[in-house]
Amino acid sequence: MRVALVVTTYNRPDALALVLRSALAQVEPPDEVIVADDGSGDDTRAVVARFAAQAPIPVRHSWQEDDGFRLAASRNRACAVAGGDYIVMIDGDLVLEPHFVGDHRRAARRGRFVQGSRALLSEAVTRDALASGLTRFGPASAGLRNRKNAVRSRWLSRVCSYRGRDIFRVRGANLAFWRTDLVAVNGFNEDFVGWGREDSEFAARMQHAGLRRLHLKFAAVGFHLWHPEAVRRALPRNEQLLAETVEARSVRCAHGLDRHLPRPAAR
C-alpha cells in the first residue's frame, strides 16, 4: 500500500517548514508528499523546494491562484496528482509524532476512513517551536491543551478507538481515506468557498456511500500549532450546502475532484 501525505497550506511558511521537517523524521515515511497550496507566495515555494531537495521521497507542490479561501479545490488538485493508494491529509500546521504515518498505515481498512485527533499547542509554545525548529512534543510538554491526545499507545489505541457517525466531529486536519473512495464521492465539494463545514459535508457523503468512520485514538498523534481563528463570514451559506447534502443523502458532489483528473483520450 502506497501512502500519499497531503499537506494543506496558505501563506504560513514557518509552520509548513516545521511540519515538513516532522514528515521527514517519520519512522515509516510516506511514499510521497504533496503540498496543497491555496495560493501562497514565494516564501512557501522556497520552503517546499528546500524540503524536496533533501527528501528521499517524491515531493510535489500543488499550487492554485489566490482567489479567496478555496480549501476544497486545493485539496482536490493535490489529491488528483497523488500516486498513493491511501491518502493521509493534514493541515500545514500539524506537527507529526514520529510514528504518525505508520499508525495511519496500520489503521487503514477497506470500507472505512479514519479520523485522527490533535493535541493543541499554546500560542507561547508555538512561537518558541517556530523560532527553535522544535518538532518533538509529548504528553508531558508544556502548553498543551487536551493533553490526553498527545499520548501514543498501541494497546490503548486498540481499546479506545471507536466508530462514529457525528459529521460535526470530523476534521480534515488529520484525516485518511482510500483514493478509490475519494474518487467515488468526487472528492471535496468546491461549492464550499470560505471557512466552514466542508469537512462535515465530505464525511456525510462518504457515509452515504456506505463507508464507516473510525475515530483513531492514542495513535497517529499530531500537534496543532496555534493560530488565530479563521474568519467565519461564509459559515451560514456553507451550513446550507451541508444541510442540502444531508437531506438529499448525496454521495457525489457536482463540482469536485473530477475537474482536476486527466480527461480520457479522445478516440
DSSP 21-41: HHHHT-SS--SEEEEEESS--
Would you say residue 162 lies in a domain?
yes
Q: Give CA separation, 1 vs 110, 214, 246, in Å.
A: 12, 19, 32
Rg (CA), the chain: 18
Count Cβ atoms below 10 Å from residue 58 Cβ, excluding itself.
Answer: 13
Question: For the purposes of burial, counting CB atoms within 10 Å of the CB of 133, is it exposed (0-12), middle (13-18) or buried (19 or more)?
Answer: exposed
Residue 160 lies in a domain: yes
C-alpha torsion angle, residues 224, 160, 246, 93 (rounded to 10): 10
The confidence score (pLDDT) of residue 218 equals 98
Residue 218: other Cβ atoms inside 10 A: 21
In a domain, 258, yes or no: no
What integer pLDDT is reported at residue 90 of this predicted model? Answer: 98
Q: For residue 119, is it within any domain?
A: yes
Closest listed residue to residue 203, CA positions, set 114, 120, 87 = 114
pTM metric for this prediction: 0.96
Structural domain containing residue 46: 3-185+203-228
The pLDDT of residue 264: 66
Instruction: Give the pLDDT band (50/70/90) at residue 267.
Output: low
Count the domains in the chain: 1
Q: What is the pLDDT of residue 136?
A: 95
Q: Is residue 82 domain-resident?
A: yes
Q: Is residue 195 part of a domain?
A: no
Q: Is residue 50 part of a domain?
A: yes
Kindly report, residue by residue over 126-166, the tens digit of the pLDDT. Answer: 999 999 999 999 999 999 989 999 999 999 999 999 999 99
Calpha distance 78→71 (Å, rounded): 11
Query: Over 80: is that where the pLDDT of 263 sits?
Result: no
Q: What is the reported pLDDT for 266?
A: 55
Note the pLDDT of residue 232.
87
C-alpha to C-alpha distance for 143 and 163, rounded to whole angstroms: 30
Position 262 scores a pLDDT of 83
The average pLDDT across 55-63 equals 97
Can you tell me the distance from the alpha carbon of 200 to that of 154, in angstroms, rounded to the nearest whole number?
Answer: 28
The owner of cell 493535541 is: 119
Note the pLDDT tens digit of each residue in 221-250: 999 999 988 888 999 999 999 999 999 999
168 inside domain? yes
pLDDT average, residue stretch 187-192: 98
CATH of the domain at 123: 3.90.550.10
Residue 96 reports pLDDT greater than 70: yes
Cβ neighbors of 204 (< 8 A, separation 6 or more) are: 167, 242, 245, 246, 250
Position 265 scores a pLDDT of: 57
Question: Beta strands 162-164 and 212-215: pairing type?
Answer: antiparallel
pLDDT of the residue at 231 = 81
Q: CB-hemisphere CA count at 13 Å for 38?
A: 23
- Per-residue pLDDT, averaged over 207-217, amounts to 98
C-alpha span between 126 and 132 (Å, rounded):
10
